Amino acid sequence: MQIYEIRPGDSLWAIAQRFGVPLQRIIDLNDPPYLDRLTPGQTLLIPTEDEPQPPTFEYTVQPGDTLWAISRRFGVTIEDILSLNDIPDPSRIFPGQVLIIPGAAPPPEPTTYVVQPGDTLWSISQRFGVSLSDLIELNDLADPSLIYPGQTLLIPPRDTPAPTPPPVPGGDGYPAIVNGYITAQGAPDRERVNQIGYALSYLSIFSYTFQPDGTLNTINDRPAIEAALAQGIGPLLTLTNIVGAGFNSQRAHEILNNPEAQQNLIEQLVTEMLTRGYVGINIDFEYVFPEDREPFNQFMRNLRAALEPEGLLLTSALAPKVSADQVGLLYEAHDYPAHGEIADYVVLMTYEWGWQGGPPMAIAPLNQVRRVLDYAVTEIPPEKIWMGVPVYARDWAIPWVQGTRARTFSVQEAVRQTIDQGVPIQYDEVAQSPFYRYTIDGQEREVWLEDARSIEAKLETAEEYQLAGISLWNVYGMFPQLWPLLADRLQIQKPALP
């Protein structure tokens, strides 16, 4: 697979003809905002003949099936199914018809149970080890108290089995772990993970929080966990010190300095991870008070002691530091040597130079990322480091005024905007990042984003430093080129699941 930069006068048809590849394959790889309009500086992935395809499986249509019902069952879109199958009339499918479904493996089918005298939904859920809410939802029970002997119920699968990881498309890059954060949204998570899971090793599900007494606040993470395990991806529980809309220094202080509350929290975390199917945890405590540096380290040690006997991974997310004595609330409590010793893996959050409240600049300028890595590898073993990679764009008004905030939006939308505004995408060779400027309603604006070139530069940097891999924030960012590019450039390492 190669990266091609759009030139004036280019069209998708002409590019397909030039490289001798099917037009539809270019469209599938890049999902361009417009099929009839491109902009200079836009990048496209161009496939090669021997390029492996993402995994799929076959499904035989059953009586009563519709495309909508099948798409819901497997967590994909109708468009995904239509793109892989020759279906002249989407409203007409027939029993016995074999459909190709995107994804590594079909999710487990529900079993059936005939209600016995004395049964209640609660007793049935306990017998089969499933949640009451899942049982009610699967059977569409308007009044859960009205079940009767002889009634047949569908029983959801208790645990999604961990299949043999599917073969992942691999290119010339180095063996690497790819972690992706996902902001848990419930049912939509299944569809998203099914779409991009072939290019992931771990899925950090964001986020669990906690009360001052250590009580754990849980989230609707079952769809994400099930989809991850079905594709050979290790789900990681992400724990944050978020209160309301942001990270809270006081909440971290309370748990780090209260041994009883901390023990309560750790016990709940281990129980939840083992019960729900997590393979480990990601600790993302941000804006921790400087005086809580050592209590934070001790919390990590205590957590490690509880996780290790259960075979659970411990990972953490750290601010991008360039020296041990870097000043600032974001940095001082993040002890690189301690986390490098205690944790199995460490996410370096090498993004947010171009942050919402600051002046316009690349979100992850590679020259600055390299400064962080130069320091990090002296304190943390490179084979434990996951380098952070952003999957979003930002749009600032210029000249920038203190107190204004940039708009955060998707890479796909940013590319669409360049075409709508008729402006080219430029590329900063120092930051190794694309950007563009446009004017709307008399206001000049500047946008920084990612593209295939900037991602490739980051992957090459991770390989140069011999890092364990990369970590994406976050997988809901619409950036269609990212996933096939990762699969092509890396030998993505799937974890050994229990």
Q: Which residues are catalytic?
A: 286
Bridge partner list, 97: none
| Residue owning tokens 């709307």 | 440
| Residue owning tokens 């304190």 | 379
Give me the helix-helix angle, 23-30 and 12-19, nearest 10°: 110
For residue 437, give both structure tokens. 């400027």
Check residue 253 and give left, alpha or beta (phi > 0: left; psi -120 to 50: alpha). alpha
For residue 343, give both structure tokens. 């944790």
Pairing of strands 345-348, 385-390: parallel
For residue 81, give both structure tokens. 């199914």
CA angle 489/492/493 to nearest 5° reads 155
Which ranges constitute the DSSP H helices of 91-213? 121-128, 132-139, 187-196
C-alpha dihedral, 368 to 455 to 189 to 272, nearest 10°: -50
Length of the chain: 498
CB 343 within 8 A of CB 299: no
Cis peptide before 410 (omega within 30 of 0): no
Cα separation, 64 vs 230, in Å, equals: 25
Q: In a 10 Å sphere around its CB, with 0-12 CB exposed, 13-18 middle and 19+ buried, how is residue 431 labelled?
A: buried
Cα separation, 109 vs 436, in Å, equals: 49
Sign of torsion over alpha carbons 289, 294, 298, 303: positive
Cis peptide before 167 (omega within 30 of 0): no
DSSP state of 198: G
Grouping H, G, I as helix, E, B as strand and the rest as coil, residue 177 is: strand
